[in-house]
Amino acid sequence: MTVTIAIDGPAGSGKSSVSKQAARALGYGYLDTGAAYRALAWHVLARGTGSAQDTADETAVVAAASDFPYAISLDPDDYWVRVGDADVTAAIREPRVTDAVSGVARVPAVREQVNALFRRLVRESGRPGVVVEGRDITTVVAPDAPVRILLTAAPEVRAARRSAELSAHDADAVAAALHRRDAADSTVVDFLTAADGVTVVDSTELDFTQTVEAVLDVISAVAPTAQENPDGR
Ligand SMILES: Nc1ncnc2c1ncn2[C@@H]1O[C@H](COP(=O)(O)OP(=O)(O)O)[C@@H](O)[C@H]1O
Ligand SMILES: Nc1ccn([C@@H]2O[C@H](COP(=O)(O)OP(=O)(O)O)[C@@H](O)[C@H]2O)c(=O)n1
C-alpha cells in the first residue's frame, strides 16, 4: 500500500517546492498534478494557433486529450515532464501556457481523465508513499488520504514569490496574471477553504525551511507510521 499525502492550495503558495522537499525528507515520490493540466494546455497550443484562445474551444481540448502521450517523473531528485518525445519540463512554465491552462482545467471530461491517471501513477509508483499536490487533491483525487493539507499564503506574498521566480517579467503583470488564474480556477474547485479533516498550513509568515518543517510536523502528527514504517510493513 502506498501512503498518499494530499496537499492543495492556490498558485504560489509553495505547493510544488514544499511538497518536493517533504517527499525527499520522507523518501517518498512527488506528484505534481498541475503539470498534467499545463502539459495538456501546451499540447492544445501545439495543435492549434498557439494563442490562449485555443483552450477556450472545449472540443479542441477534448480532442487533444484523447491523443495525449503524457509522462511524468515522480522522483523528487529527477523531475521531468514529457509529451511524446518532447521534454516539456521548462516549456509548461512559460506564461503563454500558464495563461491557457485554466481553459483546459475547467473541462470535466479532462479532469476525470487526469484524475484516473494520478491515482494510477500513485498505485504503480513502487514507493512507500507519494506526496501529491494540486488544487483538488484533498477533496476529489484523494479524499481518503491519511494526511490532507491546505497550503495557503496571503495573495500579495504569493504574487511576490512568483514574480521573484519570473524575474524577466513585469511584477505587476505576473501578479495580475496570478490573480486572474486564481479567479478562473476557483470557479472549478474551492482551494481556499479547508474541507473537513484538512489541516491548514499558512506560509505567509514562514520561510521555505519553516514551511517544510510545518508540513512534516502535520504528517508526523497525523500519520506517524508513515514515517516510522516507510515500507508499510
Ligand atoms: N515559505 C516560503 N517562503 C518563501 N518562498 C517560498 C516559500 N514557499 C515557497 N517559496 C518559493 O515561492 C515560489 C513559488 O512556490 P511554488 O512551490 O512554485 O508554489 P506553487 O506550486 O504553489 O505555485 C518558489 O520560488 C518557491 O521556492
Ligand atoms: N489538481 C489540479 C492541479 C492544477 N490544476 C490546474 O492547473 C493549473 C496549473 O497548476 P499548477 O499547480 O502548476 O499551478 P501553480 O499553483 O503552481 O501556479 C492551475 O491553474 C489549475 O487550472 C487543477 O485544476 N487541478
Calculate how far, in angstroms, residue 228's C-alpha sits from the geometric centre of ligand 2.
31
Amino acid at site 145: A
Percent of the chain scored above 70 by pLDDT? 95
Does one domain contain both 102 and 146?
A: no
The model's confidence at residue 44, banded by pLDDT at 50, 70 and 90, is very high
What is the pLDDT at residue 224?
54
192-211, pLDDT tens digit by residue? 899 999 999 999 999 999 99
Residue with the smallest CA separation from ligand 1 atom 23 is 12
Tell which phi-psi region holds residue 9, choosing left (phi > 0), alpha (psi between -120 and 50) or beta: left
Length of the chain: 233
Which ligand is closest to the CA of 139, given by its number? 2
30 pocket-lining for ligand 2 (C-beta < 6 Å): no
Boundary of a domain, candidates 126, 161, 184:
126
Burial status of residue 183 (CB atoms within 10 A of its CB: 0-12, 13-18, 19 or more) = exposed
Mean per-residue pLDDT, 101-112: 96
Residue at 231 is within a domain: no
Residue with the smallest CA separation from ligand 2 atom 15 is 11
What is the pLDDT at residue 134?
97
Which ligand is closest to the CA of 159, given by its number? 1
Cα distance between residue 103 and residue 184, in whole Å: 9
What is residue 88's three-state secondary structure? coil
148-171 residues labelled b (16+ CB within 10 A) or e (exposed): bbbbbbebebbbbbbbeebeeeee
Number of domains into which the chain is organized: 2
Boundary of a domain, candidates 92, 126, 160:
126
Residue at 38 is within a domain: yes
Is the pLDDT at 166 greater than 90? The verdict is no
The model's confidence at residue 223, banded by pLDDT at 50, 70 and 90, is low
Nearest atom in ligand 1 to the alpha carbon of residue 17 is 17
Residue 152: strand pairing partners: 202
Tell which phi-psi region holds residue 82, choosing left (phi > 0), alpha (psi between -120 and 50) or beta: beta
The model's confidence at residue 53, banded by pLDDT at 50, 70 and 90, is confident
Whether ipTM tops 0.95, in short, is yes
Question: Which protein residues are within 6 Å of ligand 1, measured from CB?
Answer: 9, 11-18, 161-162, 165, 203, 206-208, 211
> Among residues 89, 94, 86, which one has the least CA distance to residue 75?
89
Boundary of a domain, candidates 126, 155, 186:
126
Instruction: Give me the torsion for CA of 52, 117, 15, 202, rounded to 10°.
Output: 110
The model's confidence at residue 216, banded by pLDDT at 50, 70 and 90, is very high
Domain carrying residue 167: 1-15+132-222
Does one domain contain both 138 and 119?
A: no
Ranges of beta strands (E only) in the chain are 3-8, 29-32, 70-72, 81-83, 86-87, 129-134, 147-152, 199-202
Q: How confident is the prediction for the chain on average, in pLDDT?
A: 92
